[in-house]
């Protein structure tokens, strides 16, 4: 009867240990929280691809997004769906989730045994068996779980921050590519104008109406415009390749198309005076740094609390002597903290904690400085755009109109008219560059504040727009006066 009870108890304990060991690791542990942190800052939906069915869905989504002209939102969504480095970063969640589960598991017990054979008869074989469990491992289970949970929270914040970084990089690369395409198109028109001027000069030179010097000047301007066109073509190819790489595309999908012009700038900016506060509240790398400090603080506290109790094992030992008698009793093994009392570990932990606190302070200072600089650059960029629209472009248009009027009265030559037209094209090229840089700076500022700046609907009225544009060219931006 006693043996049956012992057997049942042993079976019950074995079942409990087996159930405790059968812990399932979630497939996408922590990703829902990452999505929530991202969605609180920007309106995008990151996706963690872990299966064949998800592969098919992503392929269909990519084809849909690439059917029409690529927008900034489309480029961002493709990057979040298809960027392989970002997908690899998501696996950090799985690693940290597994470490959290591992921290909540008991260490496996140790079973040992000995057999000693007698050297003379009579005598039975001496047997010894034992069962040991790390006692300290059981006591420290809650502390280990808290540390692993803090590390998991840190990883989630870091991964969400990486999602926002890829979003900002894709948005920035999109406007670089779109601006480069606009500039390249305008450069081709400059080349056409310079070529017409040079061919006209050739005819005049052939008739003996202009000197060799005048012909060489026209040829030099034509050749320089061709060089500028080649440079703009190289910049366009580099900008497209940068965005293509961020979106993780290859093959036929690299032939994506963009709109004909840059979008209108918003009529005004939102909360530029509050961007520092917004950055400190939203930046997930700051949040990850705070979580890292929590992890180091808990690790240090655990080291201090358990400094006097190192490795400790308890269990049961049974031995059968050569006279066939069994002796059974408890067994304990404790490390004596005589030489190593964890002084070095505690000192190291304190230094690591102080270092992380200083790193957090330095990061906050850097963020505030970056945000202020980008805010000021954005304000100045709006001023430049406004100045081009209200002063420089109308002035260049007026110069062309007046030169044309004098040309009709034969007061100036054709070269003067063509030169005025080329300068008008050059002014529009610089205007495109400042509009492109505005959107790039705005994307950088959005990244710096931990998301993106709130969108402002363009104004329906278009005050003080240029009176006209070069033939075949549309003004890419409009907005109200905004002085720094």
Q: What is the pLDDT of residues 321-332, one digit of tens each?
A: 777 788 888 877
Q: Where are the domains of the chain?
A: 28-34+42-105+140-307+342-448
Burial call 198-227: b when 16+ CB within 10 Å, e when fewer:
beebeebbeeeebeeeebebbbebbeebee
What confidence tens digit (pLDDT) does each residue in 447-468 have? 999 987 755 544 433 333 333 4
27: DSSP letter: T
State the number of CA atoms in the 13 A half-sphere of 475 facing the CB: 19
- C-alpha–C-alpha distance, residues 188 and 162, integer Å: 39
The answer to whether domain 28-34+42-105+140-307+342-448 has CATH 3.40.50.720 is no
Question: Residue 44 region, left (φ>0) first, then alpha (ψ -120 to 50), else beta?
Answer: beta
What's the pTM?
0.80
Q: What is the length of the chain?
A: 484
What confidence tens digit (pLDDT) does each residue in 362-375 have? 999 999 999 999 99
pLDDT band at 50 (very low <50, low <70, confident <90, very high): confident
- C-alpha–C-alpha distance, residues 241 and 239, integer Å: 5
Query: Which burial class, exposed, middle or buried, applies to 122 when counting CB atoms under 10 A from its CB (0-12, 13-18, 19+)?
Result: exposed
175 vs 461, more confident: 175
131 vs 79, more confident: 79
pLDDT band at 23 (very low <50, low <70, confident <90, very high): low
Sign of CA dihedral 182, 186, 187, 192: positive
Tell whether omega for the bond before 122 is within 30 degrees of 0, i.e. cis: yes
């Amino acid at each position: 009867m006693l043996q049956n009870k012992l057997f049942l108890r042993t079976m019950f304990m074995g079942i409990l240990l087996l159930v405790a060991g059968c812990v399932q690791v979630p497939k996408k542990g922590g990703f829902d929280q990452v999505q929530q942190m991202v969605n609180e800052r920007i309106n995008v939906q990151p996706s963690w691809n872990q299966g064949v069915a998800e592969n098919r869905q992503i392929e269909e989504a990519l084809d849909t997004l690439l059917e029409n002209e690529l927008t900034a939102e489309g480029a961002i969504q493709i990057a979040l769906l298809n960027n392989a480095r970002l997908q690899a970063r998501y696996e950090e969640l799985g690693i940290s989730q597994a470490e959290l589960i591992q921290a909540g598991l008991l260490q496996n017990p140790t079973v040992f045994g000995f057999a000693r054979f007698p050297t003379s008869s009579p005598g039975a074989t001496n047997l010894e068996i034992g069962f040991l469990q790390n006692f300290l491992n059981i006591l420290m289970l809650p502390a280990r779980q808290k540390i692993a949970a803090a590390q998991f929270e840190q990883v989630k914040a870091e991964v969400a921050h990486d999602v926002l970084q890829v979003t900002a990089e894709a948005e920035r690369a999109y406007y670089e590519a779109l601006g480069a395409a606009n500039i390249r198109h305008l450069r081709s028109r400059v080349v056409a104008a310079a070529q017409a001027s040079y061919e006209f000069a050739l005819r005049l030179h052939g008739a003996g109406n202009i000197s060799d010097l005048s012909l060489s000047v026209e040829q030099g301007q034509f050749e320089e415009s061709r060089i500028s066109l080649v440079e703009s073509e190289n910049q366009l190819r580099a900008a497209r390749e940068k965005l293509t790489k961020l979106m993780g595309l290859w093959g036929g999908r690299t032939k994506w198309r963009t709109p004909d012009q840059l979008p209108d700038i918003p009529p005004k900016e939102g909360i530029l005076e509050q961007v520092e506060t917004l950055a400190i509240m939203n930046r997930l790398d700051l949040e990850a740094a705070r979580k890292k400090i929590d992890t180091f603080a808990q690790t240090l506290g655990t080291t201090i609390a358990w400094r006097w109790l190192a490795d400790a094992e308890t269990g049961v030992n049974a031995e059968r002597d050569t006279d066939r008698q069994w002796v059974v009793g408890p067994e304990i093994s404790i490390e004596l903290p005589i030489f190593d009392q964890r002084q070095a570990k505690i000192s190291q932990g304190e230094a690591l904690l102080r270092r992380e606190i200083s790193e957090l302070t330095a990061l906050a200072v850097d963020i505030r400085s970056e945000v202020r600089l980008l805010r000021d650059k954005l304000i100045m960029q709006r001023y430049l755009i406004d100045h081009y629209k209200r002063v420089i472009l109308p002035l260049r248009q007026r110069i062309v109109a007046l030169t044309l009027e004098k040309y009709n009265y034969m007061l100036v030559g054709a070269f003067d008219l063509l030169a005025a037209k080329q300068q008008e094209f050059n002014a529009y090229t610089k205007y495109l560059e400042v509009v492109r840089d505005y959107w790039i700076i705005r994307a950088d500022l959005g990244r710096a504040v931990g998301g993106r700046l709130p969108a402002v609907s363009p104004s329906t009225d278009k005050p003080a727009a240029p009176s006209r544009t070069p033939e075949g060219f549309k003004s890419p931006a409009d907005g109200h006066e905004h002085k720094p």
